[in-house]
Amino acid sequence: MRKGDTVKILRGDFSGIEGKVSETDTEQRRVFVEGVTREKVSGTSTKVSVHVSKVMITNLNLDDKWRAQSLERRKRTRETEAATEKKEA
C-alpha cells in the first residue's frame, strides 16, 4: 500500500469510509486515510491511523512507472504458471 492508493475501511469506528491514503507508517503497519479525523478535547482535529489489516485496496495509484511495470511482470508470471499447470494436467 502506498500514498495515493484508494482504500475502503472495513472494520472499526470508521468502517465503510473510502478515501485516499495520505500517509503510511511502515513501522506500526498503519495508514492515514483522507477524511478520517477525530476531534480532540481542545477542539482541534487530528488524523487517525488505521491498521492495514482493516482496509481493502480499491484502486491503485499507478503514477509510478516502476510500480506499473512490476505489476505487469507479476501478471505475466501468473499467466505462464497457469498455462504450464494446464499442460501438466
Q: Where are the domains of the chain?
A: 6-88
Counted residue by residue, the chain has a size of 89
What is the pTM for the complete model shown? 0.77
Residue 89 is predicted with a pLDDT of: 66
Tens of pLDDT, residue by residue over 52-83, are 999 999 999 888 899 899 999 999 998 888 88
Query: CB within 8 A of 3, min separation 6: which ones?
Result: 21, 22, 23, 24, 61
Model confidence at 46: pLDDT above 90: yes
What pLDDT sits at residue 81? Answer: 87
* Share in percent of the chain as helix, strand, coil (round to 5): 30, 40, 30
> Given a cut of 70, is residue 31 above it in pLDDT?
yes
CATH, domain range 6-88: 2.30.30.30
